[in-house]
Structure 1
């Protein structure tokens, strides 16, 4: 019944039909560390090397001992990505050089806290970025500090909250055996996790340092983050970063034996234990090598593939954000059809891009009994499958003597 009396004509606009769903950003790095300058404990968007200058120049002696300038250089060497920087270094109270009377940066500064006034610092500041910028970081790094188990644990926990991947470095100076041992309870490093949100990296990489005109070691995490961003932009987030060449790398901390057909090579042994490493063979350059998160080998589900986990995140988060326009509308057949139509249109788009093999959103009345509908609760099913990477290619070879019959013009 009309809400008011009208003797005349009116037009009532009815919004029906599916709504477009916007894909969430994936090539976004959350970087926490120290810089000689720039905002302190304030999430700051950096889009280019020019923007990065506010946090210091790697050629400037004042950048020595700081992690953010090096990490930004590593990321932007790959030419793509958005970086949300959280600098925890306050020059008035902190030191990275042991300056007397000041506090050295510790794991607690990187992890951060919530102040009495409600302000977040360190890693915790990255929880504010959706409200600030409309997107979250999807690759979390803290180069130089992620080798600490306490920081590793917090990076993984935050990755779960943000539907991100935490890129974790092994400490410098360890052997291949120590890296593999670190996956178990008797290991002495920060690799004892089965999180599908963790990407474990070994070894450190060598890069040219213009400040010292010499090589220096740096954690792999920043280069891998930059490589993943570049892969997302150039090929798509459904591509694995494995077998993609690092930029700006002149060597590895220690040589890793790598042959594509040798299961006993060190690169393969590291991958077998859920560790991403570097592949360098004749004429290949230095490549990221490894498709799987730390969930492997504990979890055999395809979600242990880095690209499958990230593709699922994109689908889930994009759909969730798009549902805001449907929240609190009257539950009826039109609403159900609109939601299904919107999600299925998005899934078809992802299939067309190559991000999914197939998928569908359906409504099952058995999962939506009157008691749940009366509570305002709708349930939909989403089934989908991203493409898995061609990690292993096998050939079955046969020596067939019958082929000798073709000699001499035989048929």
Structure 2
């Protein structure tokens, strides 16, 4: 602080103290699907009519989208004699210098203007011109007029789109492909944010799979397919944390999606591929060993209003919606299991289940870390296991708790990076994390948690290098997967039987 002379008052802000930590948003779905009949964009347009001369030109932007609304057209009177019709372009402004006769009167007709526009390469790259009316009438000078009405394609290929109105997105997706069905399944469970990536439907399954997996365009650097989910946070400020590719997720697709999930700290819900039996589903699950994925078998069934018939309904799509619903209504510490699913009326394969008998189809599947479907008081998912070989992350909510805490605590401390490191802000960081843990414990999201400063690891050499280690631990809330009720028969309640008879 400068010590120069001052006769008066100075205020120096000292911004110390703990910062509140805000939990990251978790109910954001990342969805990949196909929609061959998806709504197209609308090209901007403009008609310059001169009714008295029954003459006009209609302009249509060369490409659909809102960019066309920035195109402007004007007709210039050269204010000189014997001038030729000429077209020039500056940015998105099209300037038409009209022709004049030997007396300086404008002679250009609508037909001539349209021909000149279409014949000028720079102008033709922006618009297509067509005469309206007879086209023979002479036009007049007019100032800049904007093309209007251009609308972007609502679901462009290989581009993440943040959907806040799922019903509108269903309409834009059309009836064909997987996207509309998946969105319908999601909205039946919850209204939530969905980051949609539409991919092209290939000529065969292999091409479709390649489109789903995607990559990076070598010319533009644009991420395609499921890789486009990685661009969502920078575009929209939200990170997809619940991922799925309903109806298109074989082992190859799921493996690639798990890699995306690990980068985003997101959780993947996947089907058991083409498995027809519980044994095949259990073997299919062996393809994966990640904590970020849950395998589900079989599918639901229900009535499809498009085909007007009962058909299989993707269990993965409903898992995405139900997961978002639970995050919003209960929390990320509750697993998907044993919650009624909306909009279904059956199960695609017979699954024997009994609440008290472990030797059932459902018990077999759950013991092999496959979540299955049951019908008891409504159709439900049954199973909470991930594909992790590490018991620390055996349950879905254990993985999601780890993901949410990591992002919540890390992102809450952006303010601390590059601050002068002295004891006061370090203490503030520790106290802020502990305050967040106390909140999460009170709300039931954690059983316990604590942060601390470890003097041993934070040696003078480490601190001098600009590094700081803050340790914290936590205990997630285990799901009550196996309730053991111990029933005993006894005759001790018969000991005072005679006395109780007498008393009666």
Normalised by the size of structure 2, how large is the TM-score? 0.73
Measure, in 2, the Cα distance between the counterparts of 1:348 and 1:132.
33
Q: Contact 2:334–2:397 (CA<8 Å) still a contact in 1?
A: yes
Query: Among 278, 293, 299, which residue is 1:176 paired with?
Result: 278
SS at match of 1:357: strand
Measure, in 2, the Cα distance between the counterparts of 1:104 and 1:389.
39
Unaligned runs of 5+ in 2: 39-154
Unaligned runs of 5+ in 1: 58-62, 185-191
Aligned twin of 2:413:
323
Query: Among 221, 230, 246, which residue is 1:143 paired with?
Result: 246
Query: Among 381, 393, 400, which residue is 2:471 paired with?
Result: 381
Query: Among 74, 80, 84, which residue is 2:195 paired with?
Result: 84
Q: Contact 2:275–2:281 (CA<8 Å) still a contact in 1?
A: no
Please state how far the C-alpha of 1:105 moved relative to its aligned partner. Answer: 4.3
- Indicate yes or no: 2:325 matched with 1:209: no
| Aligned Cα root-mean-square deviation (Å) | 1.8
Measure, in 2, the Cα distance between the counterparts of 1:379 and 1:406.
66
Please state how far the C-alpha of 1:172 moved relative to its aligned partner. Answer: 3.9
Residue-by-residue CA offset, 1:372-393 (whole Å, 9 max, x unaligned): 1001100011111121111111
Aligned twin of 1:292:
385
Query: Among 363, 366, 369, which residue is 1:271 paired with?
Result: 366
Measure, in 2, the Cα distance between the counterparts of 1:300 and 1:44.
36
Aligned twin of 2:256:
154
Using a 3 Å threshold, how does the CA distance of structure 1 residues 95 and 384 change in structure 2: closer, same or farther? closer
Residue-by-residue CA offset, 1:140-180 (whole Å, 9 max, x unaligned): 11112212x22111111111100011111112451111111
Aligned twin of 2:268:
166
Aligned twin of 1:188:
none
Please state how far the C-alpha of 1:397 moved relative to its aligned partner. Answer: 2.1
Decide which moves more: 368-377 or 246-255. Answer: 246-255
SS at match of 1:367: coil
Measure, in 2, the Cα distance between the counterparts of 1:179 and 1:326.
48
Structure of higher CA gyration radius: 2
Residue-by-residue CA offset, 1:344-403 (whole Å, 9 max, x unaligned): 111111112110111111111111001110011000111111211111111222222222
Q: Contact 2:170–2:183 (CA<8 Å) still a contact in 1?
A: no
- Indicate yes or no: 2:138 matched with 1:47: no
Query: Among 366, 376, 395, which residue is 1:305 paired with?
Result: 395
Query: Among 430, 437, 447, which residue is 1:357 paired with?
Result: 447
SS at match of 2:496: helix
Q: Contact 1:256–1:280 (CA<8 Å) still a contact in 2?
A: no
Measure, in 2, the Cα distance between the counterparts of 1:139 and 1:366.
39
Measure, in 2, the Cα distance between the counterparts of 1:275 and 1:140.
17
Please state how far the C-alpha of 1:10 moved relative to its aligned partner. Answer: 1.7
Q: Contact 1:340–1:362 (CA<8 Å) still a contact in 2?
A: yes
Aligned twin of 2:17:
17
Please state how far the C-alpha of 1:131 moved relative to its aligned partner. Answer: 1.1
Measure, in 2, the Cα distance between the counterparts of 1:50 and 1:371.
58
Question: Following superposition of structure 1 onto structure 2, how do residues 17-166 of structure 1 map, counting pairs within 5 Å?
Answer: 17-35=17-35, 36-37=37-38, 38-57=155-174, 63-64=175-176, 66-89=177-200, 105-115=207-217, 116-147=219-250, 149-166=251-268
Please state how far the C-alpha of 1:104 moved relative to its aligned partner. Answer: 7.6
More strand by share: 2
Q: How many residue pairs get matched?
A: 382
Please state how far the C-alpha of 1:118 moved relative to its aligned partner. Answer: 1.6
SS at match of 2:189: coil
SS at match of 1:334: helix
